[in-house]
Amino acid sequence: QTDAPLEVPDMLSPELGMVELFIRDPKGDLRIYRPLFRLCGAPHTVVLPPGGKLYESAFVGYGAEGFYFQEPGEYQVWAAYGAGGKRIRSNVLRIRVAFPRTREDEELALWTFGRDQGHVLYMRGAEHLRSGQDQLREVTERFPETGLARYIHFCLGNSQAREFKDVIQGRVRTPRPEDAIRELEKARTFSSRWERHSSLDNITHGRAANLLSDLYCQTDRADQAQRVLEQTARYFNRMEVKAEVVEDFQSRAAAIAAGREQDARR
């Protein structure tokens, strides 16, 4: 048990099994979202203060049964959380998937709705699925201003930032920080200069910013790391994200600034 602010993503992740997601499609059929993988982990308790909340972002567009939102129409999505012998149901979120209005909309769907593409989006990058990655790169080139393109950049950047082991070929691909930085910078940009909101949800936007800041530090560009953290703090403050989250980004930016000043005096 703890009273300290914690990031506890596993508790709310569909992969752990404590949260189930239900999807009612436009035809009225009910499906339970099934993730591609299950996570192994021991449950733990988090004590929240009155009114306290935990947040998590889950990609549920694709799972064990393929894409869950392919057909146009209205979907209803809700969650059920079970722990300690109790089961809590959430409110219902209504999502409307529009019909393709242009030929470009149809092309976007054709380039996206493939098995390999779904795996890449779900796993936030998959180096071994070259065909899927190539198709999604095509989406970013043909439709660069879409929210989907921003999320693809996040997935590709996340993939390039980590080591990849091919156990079949017996090869190891080391992280590619410069490639990751380029992808993540594109993921964080807004859809247009008039758009005031990121195409990424707040949690994913924060993860992209954290990873990008770490990569800049790893490549001896503390000034760029500081810039990313300060920009994110200002954006989250405008979006009225929890004060402790904003303060965390501000404090880390200030720590980097102090370190740069010390280095300058030496």
- Tens of pLDDT along 148-159? 999 999 999 999
Q: What is the pLDDT of residue 195?
A: 58
Comparing C-alpha atoms, which of 258, 171, 164, 180 is closest to residue 213? 180
pLDDT tens by residue, 127-136: 889 999 999 9
What are the respective helix, strand and coil percentages of the chain, to the nearest 5? 45, 15, 40
Q: What is the pLDDT of residue 191?
A: 53
pLDDT tens by residue, 210-239: 999 999 999 999 999 999 999 999 999 999
pLDDT over 70, % of the chain: 93
Q: Residue holding tokens 């990424």?
A: 200
How far is C-alpha 111 from the chain's CA centre? Answer: 20
Please state, in angstroms and rounded to a whole number, the distance separating the CA atoms of residues 139 and 184. 16
Sequence-distant (≥ 6) Cβ neighbours of residue 265 within 8 angstroms: none
Please state, in angstroms and rounded to a whole number, the distance separating the CA atoms of residues 236 and 33. 30
Which alpha helices (DSSP H) does 28-175 contain, by range? 103-112, 115-123, 130-142, 147-160
Tokens of 164: 């990849």
pLDDT in 10s for each residue of the chain, 266 residues: 333 333 444 678 888 888 999 999 999 999 999 999 888 776 677 777 888 788 889 999 999 999 999 999 999 999 998 877 788 899 999 999 999 889 888 889 889 999 999 999 999 998 889 999 999 999 999 999 899 999 999 999 999 999 888 777 778 889 999 999 999 999 988 655 545 788 899 999 999 999 999 999 999 999 999 999 999 999 999 999 999 999 999 999 999 999 998 888 87
